[in-house]
Amino acid sequence: MYQFITGPLLWFSFVFFFVGCVVRVVLYIRGLDWRLDRVTYTKNISFGFKGAVRSIVFWLIPYGTQSWRANPVYTLIFFIFHFAIIVTPIFLSAHNIILMERWGFRLFMLPDAVSDILTLLVICCAMIILLRRIALPQVRILTKPHDILILIITVAPFMTGFFAYHQIPDSEFWTLVHILSGEVMLVAIPLTKLSHVVYFFCSRAQIGIDFGVKRGGMKSGGMKW
């Protein structure tokens, strides 16, 4: 069982994740229509590129946009949640030990205590996000069962990994569940709303091009729409 989920199933998950994300991006780009969107994508490229970069960068900075500043508490929770989700698995010491054993290289490794803190932050932030979805009417009305499922899929690898590392109560069982839950999340990313992993950059670039070319960016009246 262990050999299968750490061998063929793991490779399938990674390949599905990468290929699925590439397909998502390609389909997004192919779906762009300058006549429908009323913004040029192949002309005035310098203005569009600057707008795209600005849009992505400012949305990656906490409180870098008016929308982030309008909800300061949620913005902080949002950024902590996503920061910990990205940093923890990449720089976790256990993951990098496996990289060294299998591929002969490793990345910078976080102290285990720091990884524990980041993992607990993921879990706590997820609980706050869930409570927000339940408590606020304007968010609750938009929340569907699959939104809750996606949140569970996201948090499961962190919770099970925490249990496995601290042997609560059976490290072998939780290690298997941890690996499986991580693979489920990789497969779910291209298939669900978790695809915002790549769609964030696509949509922000598209909006940035719009603003960079015609909404306060390139101010010329001779453009045909």
Q: Considering only 46-55, 68-77, 193-202, which range has the smallest mean pLDDT?
A: 46-55
pLDDT over 90 at 66, yes or no: no
pLDDT at 156: 95
Residue that wins the pLDDT comparison between 190 and 36: 190
pLDDT at 215: 64
Q: Considering only 9-13, 60-64, 217-221, which range has the smallest mean pLDDT?
A: 217-221
Which residues lie below 8 Å from residue 133, measured CB to CB, with a gap of 6+? 139, 140, 143, 147, 148
218 pLDDT band, cuts 50/70/90, is: low
- Is-contact 108 88, C-beta < 8 A? no
Q: What is the mean pLDDT of residues 143-170?
A: 90
Q: What is the mean pLDDT of residues 65-72?
A: 86
Question: 222 is written with which tokens?
Answer: 């001779």
How many other CB atoms are found less than 10 A from the CB of residue 22?
Answer: 12
**pLDDT, averaged across the chain:** 87
Using one digit for the tens of pLDDT, what is the confidence trace for 11-45?
Answer: 999 999 999 999 999 999 888 877 776 777 777 77
How many other CB atoms are found less than 10 A from the CB of residue 174?
Answer: 21
Which class for 131: exposed (0-12), middle (13-18), buried (19 or more C-beta within 10 A)? exposed
How many other CB atoms are found less than 10 A from the CB of residue 198?
Answer: 18
223 pLDDT band, cuts 50/70/90, is: very low
pLDDT over 70 at 122, yes or no: yes
Give the global pTM.
0.85
pLDDT at 219: 57
Q: What is the mean pLDDT of residues 38-54?
A: 80
pLDDT at 139: 87
- Is-contact 129 151, C-beta < 8 A? yes
Report the length, in residues, of the chain. Answer: 225
Q: Considering only 35-39, 145-149, 215-219, which range has the smallest mean pLDDT?
A: 215-219
Q: Considering only 36-40, 46-50, 97-101, 139-143, which range has the smallest mean pLDDT?
A: 36-40
- Is-contact 63 72, C-beta < 8 A? yes
Tokens 């606020």: give the residue: 136
- Is-contact 184 138, C-beta < 8 A? no
